[in-house]
């Protein structure tokens, strides 16, 4: 029988005990455009349960060095979207302070975005190359990107990412890097991710109210994938599942390129809410029971084993049955999403689970059963410095945001071929909406 410690108190909103801060000891770093000089990069993961502000250093070579991280409980968000701007702003400000404040305000900062307003699709655009020498240039590539952005217009949506998957040059399939090659007819196959303008505006509003200069908005599963998947994983064919508090985010990669993204509007909070409902307990108590004693595999739990919470006994079996029901639902959503995108049978790399919710006991095993592929848990990889505080699944998005910031900081030649990310016009589009406060 497992015993529950009863001493844990549930901290109140805004209390310091909920804030977490960690900083490595690092020498000062510069901010020049020289690839040999260190640069500071920042990320802000505005999650449903916690906000993480993170600062790192890049010097042109991977891995990114994580310098500082601040965390605060998240208020004012529901399933990844801002529902109370003031509360969200307060939470973001707390996380920024915990990370060392001022520097982050100097930005530029990459911000993660998720939520059920996110839409993604695979599209194909073709343009005729009318240049005399027939060579495909970077300018021509930009025209293809612009074309892909406008391929499925919706006036309430803004394109967040256009990720090239492959190119067809005069009928030759599978070209990954078209620049410098000759072709008259060029087709780009791309994965396009867009989000509701109002949701993006609300997120950026809450962040920029804190005096942060947002340089780019990144779909959260892409950030998590950046932190957790290796180039081999992507090449082999692997899907990532980030089980957060409010949403479960999916990103699947085939032959090195992004093939599918989706956001399932169920996360760990739904698991706890179910336990709270089933046991008639406050949410915080249900959360404690889930984290300490929950399992997604109820068959393995003793029928009569009780767990103790604040002098009350609860059935471990019943708790796990509730959790398994939810876990199955999330995983079936993920399976259907991968099936719908016709990628599930092309993932020899299996499924990589990350995000706080992936830590639920038995979740990996259940994922293998439902998705029909091998599953493994992942924490952020390829980071240096005092990495221990960061190597937890709930920090994958935050670390991935640093990779994105580094990637697009011109520290190394930008890949213009398949797999390169285009952050496009989102920043330009929202620039006029908010006042950018000085750092």
> At closest approach, how far in Å is the CB of 250 from ligand ATP?
12
Q: Please give, one letter per residue, the 3-state secondary structure of 163-225.
A: EEEEEEECCEEEECCCCCCECCEEEEEEEEEEEEHHHHHHHHHHHHCCCCCEEEEEEHHHHHH
Nearer of residues 129 and 247 to ligand ATP, judged by Cβ: 247
The site for Mg ion, by CB under 5 A, has a size of 3
- Residues 96-135: x where in contact with ligand ATP by CB under 6 A, - otherwise, as a string: ------------------x---------------------
How many angstroms separate the CA atoms of 185 and 58, rounded? 39
Residues numbered 284 to 323 that lie near ligand ATP (CB under 6 A) are: 287, 290-291, 294
Cα 58 to Cα 134, 197, 215, 256, 431: the distances in Å are: 37, 31, 17, 24, 26
Can residue 76 be called a binding residue for ligand ATP (CB under 6 A)?
no
Nearer of residues 261 and 359 to ligand ATP, judged by Cβ: 359
> At closest approach, how far in Å is the CB of 344 from ligand ATP?
23
Buried b (16+ CB within 10 A) or exposed e, 45-56: bbbbbbbbbbbb
Q: 15 exposed, middle or buried (CB, 10 Å; 0-12, 13-18, 19+)? A: exposed
Cα 436 to Cα 202, 212, 387, 433: the distances in Å are: 14, 7, 32, 9
Q: Which stretch binds ligand ATP (CB under 6 A): 59-67, 97-105, 245-253, 379-387?
A: 245-253
Can residue 267 be called a binding residue for Mg ion (CB under 5 A)?
no
How many angstroms separate the CA atoms of 122 and 252, rounded? 12
Can residue 48 be called a binding residue for ligand ATP (CB under 6 A)?
yes
Cα 215 to Cα 3, 156, 308: the distances in Å are: 48, 21, 48
Nearer of residues 215 and 359 to ligand ATP, judged by Cβ: 359
Q: Judged by CB under 6 A, which of 178, 211, 356, 424 binds ligand ATP?
A: 356
Beta bridge partners of 239: 252, 351
Can residue 94 be called a binding residue for ligand ATP (CB under 6 A)?
no
Beta bridge partners of 111: 44, 217
Q: Judged by CB under 5 A, which of 47, 107, 256, 357 binds Mg ion?
A: 47
Instruction: List phi, psi (to 5°) of 182.
Output: -95, 135
Q: Judged by CB under 6 A, which of 116, 166, 238, 272 binds ligand ATP?
A: 272
Residues numbered 341 to 400 that lie near Mg ion (CB under 5 A) are: 397
Nearer of residues 244 and 350 to ligand ATP, judged by Cβ: 244
> At closest approach, how far in Å is the CB of 74 from ligand ATP?
6
Which option in Mg ion, ligand ATP, none does residue 359 bind, with CB closer than 5 to 8 A by kind?
Answer: ligand ATP
| Beta-strand pair 64-73/383-384 | parallel
Nearer of residues 141 and 327 to Mg ion, judged by Cβ: 327
Nearer of residues 65 and 269 to ligand ATP, judged by Cβ: 269
Nearer of residues 58 and 96 to ligand ATP, judged by Cβ: 96
In the numeric block, the tokens 């015993």 are attached to: 3
Angle at 393 between CA 357 and CA 160, to 5 degrees: 90
Nearer of residues 178 and 245 to ligand ATP, judged by Cβ: 245
Instruction: Give the number of other Cβ atoms within 10 Å of residue 20's Cβ.
Output: 16
Can residue 362 be called a binding residue for ligand ATP (CB under 6 A)?
no
Where on the chain is the footprint of ligand ATP (CB under 6 A)? 47-50, 74, 80, 114, 244-247, 267-269, 272, 287, 290-291, 294, 355-357, 359-360, 394
Where on the chain is the footprint of Mg ion (CB under 5 A)? 47, 244, 397
């Amino acid at each position: 029988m497992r015993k529950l410690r009863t001493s844990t108190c549930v901290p109140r909103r805004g209390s310091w005990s909920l804030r977490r801060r960690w900083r490595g000891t690092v020498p000062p770093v510069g901010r020049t455009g020289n690839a040999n000089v260190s640069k500071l990069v920042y990320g802000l993961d505005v999650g449903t349960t916690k906000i993480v502000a993170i600062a790192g250093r890049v010097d042109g070579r991977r891995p990114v060095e994580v310098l500082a991280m601040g965390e605060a409980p998240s208020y004012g968000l529901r399933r990844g979207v801002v529902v109370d701007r003031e509360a969200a702003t307060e939470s973001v400000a707390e996380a920024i302070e915990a990370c060392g404040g001022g520097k982050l305000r100097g930005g530029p900062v990459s911000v993660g975005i998720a939520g059920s307003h996110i839409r993604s699709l695979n599209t194909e655009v073709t343009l005729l190359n009318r240049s005399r020498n027939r060579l495909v240039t970077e300018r021509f590539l930009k025209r293809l990107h612009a074309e892909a952005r406008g391929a499925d217009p919706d006036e309430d949506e803004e394109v967040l990412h256009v990720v090239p998957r492959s190119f067809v040059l005069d009928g030759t399939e599978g070209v990954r890097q078209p620049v410098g090659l000759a072709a008259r007819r060029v087709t780009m196959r791309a994965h396009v991710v867009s989000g509701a303008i109002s949701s993006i505006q609300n997120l950026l509003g809450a962040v920029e109210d804190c005096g942060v200069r947002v340089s780019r908005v990144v779909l959260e599963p892409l950030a998590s994938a950046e932190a957790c998947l290796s180039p081999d994983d992507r090449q082999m064919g692997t899907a990532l599942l980030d089980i957060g508090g409010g949403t479960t985010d999916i990103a699947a990669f085939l032959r090195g390129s992004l093939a599918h993204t989706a956001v399932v509007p169920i996360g760990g909070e739904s698991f706890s809410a179910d336990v709270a409902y089933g046991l008639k307990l406050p949410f915080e108590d249900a959360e404690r029971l889930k984290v300490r004693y929950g399992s997604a595999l109820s068959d393995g739990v003793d029928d009569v084993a009780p767990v103790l919470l604040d002098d009350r006994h609860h059935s471990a079996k019943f708790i796990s049955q509730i959790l398994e029901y939810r876990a199955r639902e999330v995983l079936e959503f993920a399976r259907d999403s991968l099936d719908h995108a016709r990628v599930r049978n092309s993932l020899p790399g299996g499924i990589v689970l990350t995000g706080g919710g992936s830590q639920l006991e038995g979740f990996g095993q259940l994922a293998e059963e439902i998705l029909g592929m091998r599953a493994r848990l992942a924490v952020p990889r390829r980071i240096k410095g005092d990495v221990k505080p960061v190597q937890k699944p709930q920090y994958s998005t935050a670390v991935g945001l640093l990779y994105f910031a580094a990637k697009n900081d011109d520290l190394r030649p930008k890949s213009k071929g398949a797999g390169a990310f285009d952050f496009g016009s989102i920043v330009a589009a929202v620039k006029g909406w908010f006042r950018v406060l000085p750092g």
